[in-house]
Structure 1
Amino acid sequence: MFVDSIKSPGLAQISYLIGDGNEAAVIDPRRDCEVYAQMAREKGCRITHIFETHRNEDLISGGPILSDITGAPVHHGPNAADEVDYADTIHEGDSFTFGSMRLVVLETPGHTDDSLSFAIYDDSFGEDAVGVFSGDALFVGDVGRTDFYPDRAEEVAGNLFDSLKKITGLGDQAILYPAHGAGSVCGDNMADRDFSTIGYERKNNPMLRIDKKDEFVKKKVNEHHYQPPYFRVMERLNLEGAAPVRSVLTPPVLDMQAFEEVSGKAVLVDVRGISPFLGAHIPGSYALPVDMIPAFAGWFLDENDELILVAENAAQAEEAARNLARIGYDYIIGYLDASMPGWAAGARPFERVQVIDVHDVEKRVKEGQENWVLLDVRDKGEVEQGIIKGAEMAYVGKLKEEMDKLPQDRHYTVMCASGARATIAASVMLRAGFQKVDVFLGSMGAWRSAGHDVVEPS
């Protein structure tokens, strides 16, 4: 009997290959799904079933693609928003066996109406559940978000409460296998580890320690989560079934001439780190460091955009293309094969973003410089923990759509927790025509390290 986890960096999504003997199943496969078939071959078994815990909002399911590869059916829960074209529907109590492993379906709505969890048993050794695949219902240190049905907010939060009782009822001995880890947009307070037990979570997970349903519902209803526009695209594709990713994900190399021929019709995405972007970048490019693509590309890019990447090398371009493919961005023309010094040596224009440190911000805050704005682009939860006095707030993900609220004649210093999201925000502003933009490097981390106070947002 085996349970192998496969984690997708950036998305913090965890899928699983499970089984016993020569039979295996996959739970929540990602779109680039050849890895599961390869792992099964290495174990000398075949994939006979594919299970989805729910219709994902933050990534494309590889269920229909893996089904085409292996011939295994895809199983999905009841009450999806519409028919899941590529899957059959399974229900509470349905059971599947893989050698001595038995998987039992639990209907656990709340995060979504179609949410399922899967309890596993070792029929050759004991009667208690060995573990549970909880999808987005229960995480390590947190529980799933319940904001996808705003007109039924209290109902779905109550559903999640009941579902969690069902999951924890499997017993403290059961190992917890969630669908996401820390860094996912599907929860706020996940622990930075991917393993736990029901017993540990019952004792330490703050949400599981709430015994009263009305108190739990109130807390969930008062949470604040962001829903990037690409969530709607994921929901559609995870009903229809997405096409496979390209067999070769490394984009074609573009030299200077090729880049200039095609760049006019494409969106330029700089996937290097924030320091290279701040130092020198091609005008009009988004700063989307490769490891931040899963969290932020969906705020700024349209699914039909043609993209050109600026990358340091082929490996970085391939990683960026893979991260983009997992959330539905397939139209990548190529990547620019040139260093910024080489770019500049051809008398081509480039921009830089000034960075300032905590002492510069201290001075500006103290002096109250005219027409200067400290723009805090952190999320609402972070802002509620305190802001720098006088700062204005605009969440980085919402910045593009709220740009008209920011007068372009002002001087903006952009900040976040460290400076990474501030760099993304600065790139969005520069693309929109803002001229006076700099980045507070270190941001709130530096401000607190210097011993400065914060205030409550007004």
Structure 2
Amino acid sequence: MFVHKIKSDGLSHLSYMIGSNGQAALIDPRRDVDAYMDLAREEDCRITHVFETHRNEDLVSGAPVISQLTGATVYHGPQPAQPIAYATTVREGDKFRIGKIELTVLETPGHTDDSVSYVLHDTDNPERAVGVFTGDALFIGDVGRTDFYPDREREVAGLLFDSLQKLRRIGPQAIIYPAHGAGSVCGAGMADREFSTIGHELANNQRFAMQDREAFIEAKISENHYLPPYFKEMERLNAEGGSATSRFPTPPPVPSDSRLFTSHEAQIVDIRSETDFAAAHVPGSYCIPQGMLAAFAGWFLNYQTDILLISDSAEQARQAAVTLSRIGFDRVIGHHAGTVSLATAGQSLESLPLVETRTVESRLADIGKGWTLLDVRSIDEFNAGHIEGATHAYAGHLPDALAEMSLGSRVTVMCGSGMRASIAASVLKRAGYPNVDVYYGSWAAWNKRESRPAGASRAA
């Protein structure tokens, strides 16, 4: 018997392969499926089942791909408003055997209506569950978000509370196998580890430990979560089983003299570090460092236009193309390594100034007098502490928020350290704001300065 965990960095997505006696099953597989096929060969087993815990909102499911490649049957929870075209519906109490493994279905709605969990038993020791695949109902350190049905917010929060009571009853010994780890947009307080048990979570997970249903509902509906626009596309693809491909080749190189750098025919995404972008970048390009692609590409890019990557190397471009494919962006038409060759070819380049704490301190008197300090962290981060007089707009909301904001002729963008600020600054420059710079180090640097001037506020 074996359990393998497969992690998708960036999305912090966790999928699993379980198996016994030559059979194997997958739980919540991602779209690029080579890792699962390789594991099946290593374990000398055949993939016969694919189980989904819910219709994912933040990535494209690999279940229809696996089904096409192996003939495995896909199982999904009670069908949502838009049925899952490629899956067979499971219900509470359904059981499945994979060698000596037995999986039992628990309906655990709340995060989504179709959410289910799968309780894992070893048939040689069937009395107590070995573990449970909880999907997005229960995480390590947190529980699932419940804001996908805004017109039913109290109802779905209550449904999640009831679902968590079912998970409690599995027993303290059961290992938790969630669908996401720390950094996922599907929860806010996940622990920075990927191992736990029901018992440990009851002792240490604040939301899971709550016993008052009404208090739990109030706590959940008071949470602040962001809803990237690409989630709608994920819901559609994961209902229809579309984009069923498993091949994501390295994007071809684009020559330095290509008109793509000036024609606006492609979305140019610079995946190098924020400092490389600041030094020199193609006008109109997005700054989205590779490690931030999964979190922010879906806020700014559209699915109808080709994508051209500015990368450090062909390998970085290949990895980025895979990351983008996991959220449905398949139109990556090429990459160009660096900007030096663009400069020598006569292509126009721009830079993005970086400023330090002393510069920001010296400008505080100018807030509202032609200068805007724009804080693009989450609202929870902003409320926990910010520089007095700063304007807040979450980075992902900028394209829509700019129409309602009144920014000065000069804008300094800040976040937690400077990375999200660089992303936001590139959005501002694309929107026609010429005098933009980034407070590099941002809130982390502000808190470490030697003296705190009168214009500082840890919480406002």
Q: Under TM normalisation by the shorter chain, which class is it? A: over 0.9
Report what 1:454 is aligned to. 457
Report what 2:189 is aligned to. 189
Report what 1:433 is aligned to. 432
Q: Output the CA distance in 2 between the equivalents of 1:374 and 1:33.
A: 44
Q: Output the CA distance in 2 between the equivalents of 1:75 and 1:126.
A: 23
Q: Output the CA distance in 1 between the equivalents of 2:187 and 2:425.
A: 26
For the residue of structure 2 that corresponds to 1:227, the secondary structure is coil
Q: Output the CA distance in 1 between the equivalents of 2:445 and 2:248.
A: 42
Asked whether the equivalents of residues 278 and 354 of structure 1 are also in contact (C-alpha less than 8 Å), the reply is yes
Report what 2:363 is aligned to. 364
Give me the identity figure in percent: 50
Residues 392-430 of structure 1 deviation map (CA, whole Å, 9 limit, x = unaligned): 001100001122234465210000000000000000000
Q: Compute the displacement of 1:100 (Å).
A: 1.3
Report what 2:15 is aligned to. 15
Cα distance, 1:114–1:412 mapped onto 2, change above 3 Å: same
Pairs within 5 Å for 1:26-425: 26-245=26-245, 247-260=247-260, 263-337=263-337, 339-366=338-365, 368=367, 370-407=369-406, 410-425=409-424
Q: Compute the displacement of 1:360 (Å).
A: 1.1
Asked whether the equivalents of residues 86 and 241 of structure 1 are also in contact (C-alpha less than 8 Å), the reply is yes
Asked whether the equivalents of residues 259 and 336 of structure 1 are also in contact (C-alpha less than 8 Å), the reply is no
Give the aligned residue type for 2:154.
Answer: E
Q: Output the CA distance in 1 between the equivalents of 2:248 and 2:187.
A: 33
Residues 352-406 of structure 1 deviation map (CA, whole Å, 9 limit, x = unaligned): 1111111111121156583111000011111110210010001100001122234
Return the TM-score normalized by structure 1: 0.97
For the residue of structure 2 that corresponds to 1:323, the secondary structure is helix
- Range that drifts further, 115-124 or 243-252: 243-252
Q: Output the CA distance in 1 between the equivalents of 2:426 and 2:141.
A: 34
Asked whether the equivalents of residues 261 and 282 of structure 2 are also in contact (C-alpha less than 8 Å), the reply is no
Asked whether the equivalents of residues 377 and 414 of structure 1 are also in contact (C-alpha less than 8 Å), the reply is yes
Q: Output the CA distance in 1 between the equivalents of 2:134 and 2:143.
A: 10
Cα distance, 1:223–1:446 mapped onto 2, change above 3 Å: same
Give the aligned residue type for 2:52.
Answer: E
Cα distance, 1:283–1:367 mapped onto 2, change above 3 Å: closer
Report what 1:445 is aligned to. 444
Q: Compute the displacement of 1:259 (Å).
A: 4.9
Give the aligned residue type for 2:394.
Answer: Y
Q: Output the CA distance in 2 between the equivalents of 1:295 and 1:81.
A: 27
Q: Output the CA distance in 1 between the equivalents of 2:372 and 2:186.
A: 32
- Range that drifts further, 77-86 or 109-118: 77-86
Asked whether the equivalents of residues 386 and 456 of structure 1 are also in contact (C-alpha less than 8 Å), the reply is yes
Q: Compute the displacement of 1:276 (Å).
A: 0.3
Q: Output the CA distance in 2 between the equivalents of 1:155 and 1:368.
A: 44
Q: Output the CA distance in 1 between the equivalents of 2:62 and 2:254.
A: 30
Q: Compute the displacement of 1:35 (Å).
A: 1.6
Q: Compute the displacement of 1:81 (Å).
A: 2.2
Give the aligned residue type for 2:287.
Answer: A
Cα distance, 1:262–1:342 mapped onto 2, change above 3 Å: closer
Q: Output the CA distance in 1 between the equivalents of 2:262 and 2:30.
A: 31
Residues 275-322 of structure 1 deviation map (CA, whole Å, 9 limit, x = unaligned): 100111010000011111111011101111211111111011001100
Q: Output the CA distance in 2 between the equivalents of 1:146 and 1:261.
A: 42
Unpaired runs of 5+ in structure 1?
Answer: none
Report the aligned-residue RMSD. 1.5
Cα distance, 1:368–1:74 mapped onto 2, change above 3 Å: closer
Give the aligned residue type for 1:27.
Answer: I
Cα distance, 1:261–1:316 mapped onto 2, change above 3 Å: closer
Residues 178-227 of structure 1 deviation map (CA, whole Å, 9 limit, x = unaligned): 00000000000100111101110000001122110000000001111111
Give the aligned residue type for 2:49.
Answer: H
Report what 2:5 is aligned to. 5
Give the aligned residue type for 2:98.
Answer: F
Asked whether the equivalents of residues 257 and 345 of structure 2 are also in contact (C-alpha less than 8 Å), the reply is no
Cα distance, 1:262–1:42 mapped onto 2, change above 3 Å: farther
Give the aligned residue type for 1:122.
Answer: D
Return the TM-score normalized by structure 2: 0.96
For the residue of structure 1 that corresponds to 2:161, the secondary structure is helix
Q: Output the CA distance in 2 between the equivalents of 1:262 and 1:81.
A: 44
Asked whether the equivalents of residues 304 and 329 of structure 1 are also in contact (C-alpha less than 8 Å), the reply is no
Q: Compute the displacement of 1:236 (Å).
A: 0.5
Residues 36-88 of structure 1 deviation map (CA, whole Å, 9 limit, x = unaligned): 12211110110110000000000000111110001001000004121110001
Runs of 4+ aligned structure 1 residues displaced above 6 Å come to none
Asked whether the equivalents of residues 371 and 408 of structure 2 are also in contact (C-alpha less than 8 Å), the reply is no
For the residue of structure 2 that corresponds to 1:167, the secondary structure is helix
